[in-house]
Structure 1
Amino acid sequence: MEYSIVLPTSQKKMTLRELLEKEWLVPRKVRHFLRVRKNVWRNHQPINFHEFVYANDIITLQIEEEDYNYQNVTAGSKENITVLFEDEHLVVVNKPVGIKTHPNQPEETGTLLNDLTAYLAEQDERPYVVHRLDKETSGAILFAKNPFVLPILGRLLEEKKIYRRYQAVVWGKLTQDCTIDKKIGRNRHDHRKQIIDERHGKTAITHVKVHQAHQKTSEIYCTLATGRTHQIRVHLASLGHPVVGDPLYQNKKGARLALHAYEMNLLHPFTQEQIQITAQPGLW
């Protein structure tokens, strides 16, 4: 696998070792192989790890596939994939409602990852999971297209530098914007569910903005300051405004879980391009 990356104009002067370790989060084992194999070039010339790199330099790396572990995934149907953004390093697709993000068992099929595997196979590429959406949730979801960029995207996610905004329709008339700050933990009596657990749970913060309130339902936007399992669903249910169609956290019937990952914004880790994605058609 060969990658050529043009360092952005904002790139600070640093050694190649610092770039690989601190900026690109290349694992120690892979850095070792790059060094001993002399598989790194700057502007098409060999470069040592102690040498400096600068803005607009072209850094080329040759990485052996066996340097990274990859769990083989059965190819599904590429026709199920709707691409919202794609380049050589990452891909954002519009996840349909009702399918899982990835298999839990090697032989499992019918997930988004299976279908994306089939789509990328035509380019001789593979998908790597960065984050997930619940089976009942639709919308924009990000995958890495190579193991090189995967830890960088993971760090951006942890540092809340990948902005995601959700649409939701909830039961009841919710008229005011609010921030829900309630800890979430696992429901010991039902492994499928999470609960509000201020004593033993993990910090969870959801920002809610009302789009339009009706007599029986309300259309809202939610942004996450944390990323707990079922966070939006648990938080809204705790207010007495569960998401319409939620099969776990309310008893009323709905056609589907009315939760959609509508917007995603991120700064591309290599090009520094601001990527803004909207997953149409959304809920309204």
Structure 2
Amino acid sequence: MEYSITLPASQQPMTIRDLLEKEWLVPRKVRHFLRVRKNVLLNHETAMFHQEIKAGDVITLRLEETDYQYQDIHLGNKKTIQPLFEDEHIILVNKPAGVKTHPNQPDETDTLLNDLAAYLAEKQQRAYVVHRLDKETSGVILFAKNPLVLPILGRLLEQKTIYRRYQAVVWGKLTKNSTITKKIGRDRHDRRKRVIDERKGKTAITHLEVHAVQQKTSEVYCVLDTGRTHQIRVHLASIGHPIVGDPLYQNKKGKRLLLHASEMFLVHPFTKEQMHVTAKPGLWE
């Protein structure tokens, strides 16, 4: 595996050692192999770790297959994949409702990750899970295409420089924008569910923006400051406006959960480009 990356205009001067360790978060073992095998190139010439880099330089890393562990994934149906953006390092796809993000058992073959593995296999590339969407939720989801970029994406998620804007259709009339800050914990009686638990729960913050109010329902945008399991679903149900079609947090029947990750905002981990990706069609517009 060989990856060539042109350093962006915003790149600060530093040594190759600091770039690999502090910015690209390359594991110590892999950094050791890169150094002893002389598998780092600076502007297409073999480089030493003490050399300085600057904006515009081209860094090439030659990684061995054994440098990183990879779990083999059964190949699914590549035709279901709807790419929204793709390059050498990342891919964003539009996830259908009713499809799990990834397998929980080794023999599962019908998840989004299985289908994406089949789509990328033709290009001799692999898929790595960065985050997940609930099975019932549709919309934009991000995967890494190599192990090099995976820890950088994890850090960007922690720093909240990757975030999604959701569309939800809820029961009842929501007329004001608001922020819900109720803590969320596990339901002791149903392992599938989460509950509001102000004493033992984890901090959860959901911002709501009302888009339209209908006769029996409201259309709202949701942006999260935290990423708790079922956060939007639990928070909206807790204020008396559960999401239409939610099989866990409301009793009325519906064809599907009307929750859609309509947009993702992120900074590309290598180019530093500000990206805005939209998954259409949404629940409206």
Distance 1:163 1:199 in 2: 27
Q: 1:148-159 alignment to 2 at 5 Å?
A: 148-159=148-159
The residue that corresponds to 1:35 in the other structure is 35
**Residues 195-214 of structure 1: matches in 2 within 5 Å?**
195-214=195-214
Does residue 276 of structure 2 align to residue 276 of structure 1? Answer: yes
- In the alignment, the residues of structure 1 paired with residue 239 and residue 44 of structure 2 have an alpha-carbon distance, to the nearest angstrom, of 59
For residue 273 of structure 1, report the CA deviation from its aligned partner.
1.6
Cα distance in 1, alignment partners of residues 25 and 47 from structure 2: 19
SS at match of 1:116: helix
- Kindly provide the amino acid, as one letter, of the partner of residue 209 in structure 1: E
Query: What secondary structure does 2:61 align onto?
Result: strand
Equivalent AA in structure 2 for residue 187 of structure 1: D
Give the corresponding residue for 2:98.
Answer: 98
C-alpha displacement of 1:215: 2.5
**Structure 1 residue 280: Cα displacement:** 0.2
Distance in 2 of aligned mates of 1:64 and 1:276: 33
- In the TM superposition, what whole-angstrom CA distance separates every residue of 1:224-271 from its partner, at most 9, and x where no partner exists? 000000000000000000000000001011121000000011111111
Amino acid at match of 1:264: M
1:163 deviates by 2.2
1:121 and 2:110 matched: no
Alpha-carbon separation, structure 1, partners of 2:200 and 2:92:
35
Which amino acid is the alignment partner of residue 70 of structure 2? Y
Structure 1 match to 2:267: 267
Give the whole-Å Cα distance in 2 for the aligned partners of 1:66 and 1:111: 26
Distance in 2 (CA, whole Å) between partners of 1:193 and 1:65 is 40
Secondary structure, aligned partner of 2:164: strand
User: After alignment, is 208-217 or 140-149 more displaced?
Assistant: 208-217
Supply the AA of the counterpart residue of 1:278: T
- For the aligned residue pairs, the C-alpha RMSD in angstroms reads 0.7
In structure 1, distance between residues paired with 2:210 and 2:120: 38
TM-score (norm: length of structure 1): 0.99
- Alpha-carbon distance in structure 2 between the residues aligned to 1:175 and 1:254: 23
Q: How does 1:1-284 map to 2 (within 5 A)?
A: 1-284=1-284
Shift of residue 109 of structure 1? 1.2
Query: Secondary structure of the equivalent of 1:252?
Result: coil
1:176 alignment partner AA: K
Distance 1:53 1:239 in 2: 53
Deviation, structure 1 residue 107: 0.9
Residue aligned with 1:228, SS: coil
Once residues 70 and 88 of structure 1 are traced to their aligned partners in structure 2, the CA distance between those partners, rounded to angstroms, is 18
Q: CA deviation at 1:283?
A: 0.3
**In 1, Cα distance between the equivalents of 2:273 and 2:2?**
21
Q: Shift in Å at residue 70 of structure 1?
A: 0.7
3-state secondary structure, aligned to 2:20: helix
1:54 positional shift? 0.5
What is the rounded CA distance, in whole Å, between the counterparts of 1:57 and 1:187 in structure 2?
A: 52
Number of aligned residue pairs: give it: 284
Identical aligned pairs, as a percentage?
A: 73
User: 3-state DSSP class of the match of 1:249?
Assistant: coil
Distance in 2 separating the partners of 1:159 and 1:96 = 27
- Match of 2:36, SS state, is helix
| Structure 1 residue ranges, 4+ long, deviating more than 2 angstroms after superposition | none
Q: Partners of 2:170 and 2:32 in 1: how far apart?
A: 52
Secondary structure at 1:69 match in 2: coil
Cα distance in 2 for partners of 1:105, 1:71 equals 12
Q: Work out the CA distance in 1 between the residues paired with 2:87 and 2:51.
A: 29
Distance of 1:12 and 1:283 partners within structure 2:
42
Calculate the TM-score normalised by the size of structure 2. 0.99
Amino acid at match of 2:94: N
- Report the Cα distance in structure 1 between the residues aligned to 2:103 and 2:118, rounded to whole angstroms: 14
